[in-house]
C-alpha cells in the first residue's frame, strides 16, 4: 500500500488558517519512511495567528450559545467520520511520522474514545450544580461553568492526531473556540481531522489550524489565547508556563517522562517479556508514557533479560502501510542522533547490549533497532535523561522496596508499569509510586485509554490533567451565583445592630447543621 497521493495533501492544504497561501514561504513535508517530499505547507506568521484569534473570538460567542447536547451531537458525528475514514487517517499518520500502523491505529482509537466519552458526559459535567449556601434555606447557591473563550493548543509530532484533536474535543464541547499549532513535521495529521470536524458541523472559525514554527506561531498563540494546552518536552513546558503565568491565563501540559516498570520475582515472565515490547517500543519509543527503565527482582533478572531480549530481537521493522510491522521509523535525523548518542555513551561507559543497538538504513533512512541495555550505571546519559526513542535499560534489584525507591528516584512522574504475582500485590506497589498513571499488568494503554479518569504527570512531567471531568472543566471558568431569599445579612427590623452581630455566628452554625438543607 503506497503513501497518500499529493492530491490528498493539496485538498487538506486549503484548510490551514493562513491568508494568501500561494504567495507564502512553504515547508516541505516528507514521507518519513523514504525521506522523499510528499507535500508542502504554507508557513504561518504571527499575523495569521492574530487573524485566526479574531475570527475565533467572534465565532465563539455564537458557538457558546449552541446547546451542549447539539455540540455533543456534532462530536458524535465526528467520531463516526473518524471511524469511516480510519484507513486514510492511518495512511497520513504513517506518512508524516513513520510509525507502524498499529501505532497509527492508537491515534484513531484515542480520538474515538475521547469523542464518545465527552459527547456522552459533557451535558452532565457542564450542568449548573446546586451547592450548600451560607444560610441553607435562606440562600440558593449555584455553580456554573462558563467557557474560557479561545483555547490555544500546541501539539507535538509523536501522536499528532490524538494530541491535537483529542485535547480540542472537550474544549469545543465546553463552548470554546480552538486555535491549534501542529508540529511542523506533522501538519496534515491535524488538517485531515479538521476537515472531518467541519464536515461534522464545527464552524470553520471555531476550530482553526495555523502551521508554523513554535518560536513564531507558538509564541503568538500564547500571547492571544485564554487558556493553553501543551504537550511536549519539560524544557519547553517550563518556558510556556512562564509566558502563561505573566498573562495570568490557565495552562495545562503533559511533559516528559523516564517511566519505570517493576517486575517482581513472582511475575509471569513470559507474559511480561512479550508485553514489555509494547510498553517500551510502541511508536518506536517516541511516546511520553513509554517505559525506559525496568527494575527486575535479581532472582529472576537473568531469566527475564534472556526472554525479553529474544522478544525484542524478533520484532519486525518495516515501512509497510499495513499491520505487518512491529515497529516503524523514528521521525527525524535528530531523533536518530539522540538515540544513538545515548546508546554509544552507555557502551563506552561499560553497558552491554542485550538486543538491538544499530541503525538500520537498509530498511529506511531513520530506522533504529529496538534496543535493550544491561549494566547501565548512573553516570550514563540514558540512566536519568529521557531518550524518547527505542531504548530501555534493565536493572536488577534486591527486592520490591528497592524497586519502588529506584522507580521514584527521578524528577519525572508521568507513567509506570507494575507486574507482580497477584493483582493485589501489583496494586499495592502501584499506590506507592509517584506517578500520574500506573498500569498493573500492562504498560501504558489501560490508564491512558481510561478516558473517564484523569491522565497527566507529577513533578516535572506536567501540570493539570487531560481526560475525565478535569479534562473538560479546565477549559471553563467557574462562576458562583448566590441568591438571598427571605432576608439578607443586614440587621432585621426590630433588632439592634449589636444584638444581630452577636447572634449572627451562632445562627449560621445552627442553620448549617440542619439535615438535608441547602
**Catalytic annotation, residues:** 254
Using CA atoms of 395, 396, 399, 403 in order, give the dihedral in degrees to the nearest 10.
0
39 has which bridge partners? 29
Let me know: does 458 contact 484? Beta carbons within 8 Å: no
Query: In which residue are the cell numbers 500500500 written?
Result: 1
Let me know: does 180 contact 190? Beta carbons within 8 Å: yes
Return the number of other C-beta atoms located less than 10 Å from residue 172's C-beta: 28
Pairing relation of β-strands 391-397 and 462-463? unpaired
User: By CB neighbour count within 10 A (0-12 exposed, 13-18 middle, 19+ buried), where does 494 fall?
Assistant: exposed
Q: List C-alpha distances in Å: 97 to 183, 187, 336, 362.
A: 11, 11, 13, 18
DSSP H/E element including 394: strand 391-397
Return the number of other C-beta atoms located less than 10 Å from residue 183's C-beta: 24
Query: In which residue are the cell numbers 525507591 written?
Result: 405
Helix 86-97, helix 68-84: angle, nearest 10: 70
Q: Which cell numbers hold the place of 368?
A: 533504529
Q: Which residues have C-beta within 8 Å of that of residue 269, sequence separation ≥ 6?
A: 263, 300, 303, 304, 307
Question: What's the CA gap between 166 and 113, in Å, rounded?
Answer: 9
Return the number of other C-beta atoms located less than 10 Å from residue 247's C-beta: 14
Question: What's the CA gap between 295 and 396, in Å, rounded?
Answer: 6
Amino acid at each position: 500500500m503506497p503513501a497518500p497521493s499529493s492530491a490528498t495533501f493539496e485538498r487538506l492544504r486549503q484548510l490551514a488558517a493562513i491568508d494568501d497561501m500561494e504567495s507564502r514561504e512553504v515547508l516541505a513535508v516528507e514521507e518519513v519512511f523514504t525521506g522523499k517530499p510528499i507535500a508542502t505547507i504554507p508557513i504561518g506568521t504571527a499575523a495569521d495567528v492574530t487573524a485566526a484569534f479574531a475570527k475565533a473570538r467572534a465565532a465563539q460567542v455564537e458557538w457558546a450559545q449552541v446547546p451542549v447536547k447539539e455540540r455533543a451531537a456534532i462530536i458524535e458525528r465526528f467520531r463516526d467520520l473518524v471511524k469511516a475514514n480510519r484507513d486514510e487517517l492511518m495512511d497520513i499518520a504513517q506518512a508524516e511520522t513513520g510509525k507502524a500502523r498499529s501505532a497509527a491505529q492508537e491515534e484513531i482509537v484515542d480520538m474515538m474514545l475521547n469523542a464518545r466519552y465527552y459527547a456522552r458526559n459533557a451535558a452532565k459535567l457542564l450542568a449548573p450544580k446546586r451547592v450548600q449556601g451560607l444560610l441553607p434555606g435562606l440562600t440558593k447557591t449555584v455553580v456554573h461553568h462558563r467557557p474560557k473563550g479561545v483555547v490555544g493548543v500546541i501539539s507535538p509530532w509523536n501522536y499528532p492526531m490524538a494530541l491535537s484533536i483529542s485535547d480540542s474535543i472537550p474544549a469545543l464541547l465546553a463552548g470554546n473556540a480552538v486555535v491549534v499549532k501542529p508540529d511542523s513535521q506533522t501538519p496534515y495529521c491535524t488538517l485531515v481531522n479538521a476537515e472531518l470536524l467541519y464536515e461534522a458541523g464545527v464552524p470553520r472559525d471555531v476550530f482553526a489550524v495555523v502551521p508554523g514554527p513554535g518560536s513564531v506561531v507558538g509564541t503568538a498563540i500564547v500571547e492571544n489565547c485564554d487558556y493553553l494546552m501543551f504537550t511536549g518536552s519539560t524544557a519547553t513546558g517550563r518556558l510556556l508556563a512562564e509566558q502563561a503565568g505573566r498573562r495570568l491565563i490557565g495552562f495545562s501540559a503533559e511533559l516528559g517522562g523516564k517511566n519505570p516498570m517493576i517486575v517482581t520475582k513472582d511475575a509471569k515472565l513470559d507474559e511480561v517479556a512479550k508485553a514489555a515490547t509494547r510498553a517500551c517500543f510502541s511508536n518506536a519509543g517516541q511516546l511520553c508514557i513509554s517505559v525506559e527503565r525496568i527494575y527486575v527482582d535479581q532472582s529472576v533478572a537473568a531469566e527475564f533479560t534472556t526472554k525479553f531480549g529474544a522478544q525484542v530481537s524478533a520484532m519486525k521493522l518495516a515501512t509497510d502501510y499495513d499491520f505487518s510491522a512491529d515497529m516503524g521509523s523514528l521521525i527525524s535525523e535528530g531523533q536518530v542522533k539522540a538515540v544513538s548518542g545515548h546508546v554509544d555513551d552507555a557502551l563506552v561507559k561499560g553497558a552491554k547490549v542485550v538486543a538491538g543497538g544499530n541503525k538500520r538504513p537498509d530498511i529506511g533512512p531513520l530506522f533504529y533497532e529496538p534496543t535493550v541495555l544491561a549494566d547501565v550505571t548512573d553516570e550514563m546519559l540514558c540512566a536519568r535523561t529521557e531518550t524518547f526513542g527505542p531504548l530501555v535499560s534493565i536493572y536488577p534489584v534486591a527486592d520490591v522496596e528497592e524497586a519502588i525507591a529506584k522507580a521514584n528516584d527521578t524528577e519525572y512522574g508521568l507513567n509506570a508499569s507494575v507486574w507482580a504475582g497477584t493483582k493485589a500485590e501489583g496494586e499495592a506497589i502501584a499506590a506507592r509510586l509517584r506517578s500520574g498513571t500506573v498500569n498493573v499488568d500492562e504498560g501504558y494503554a489501560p490508564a491512558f485509554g481510561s478516558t473517564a479518569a484523569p491522565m497527566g504527570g507529577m513533578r516535572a512531567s506536567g501540570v493539570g490533567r487531560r481526560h475525565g471531568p478535569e479534562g473538560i472543566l479546565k477549559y471553563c471558568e467557574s462562576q458562583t451565583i448566590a441568591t438571598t431569599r427571605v432576608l439578607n445579612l443586614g440587621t432585621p427590623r426590630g433588632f439592634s445592630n449589636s444584638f444581630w452581630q452577636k447572634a449572627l455566628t451562632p445562627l449560621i452554625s445552627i442553620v448549617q447543621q440542619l439535615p438535608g438543607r441547602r
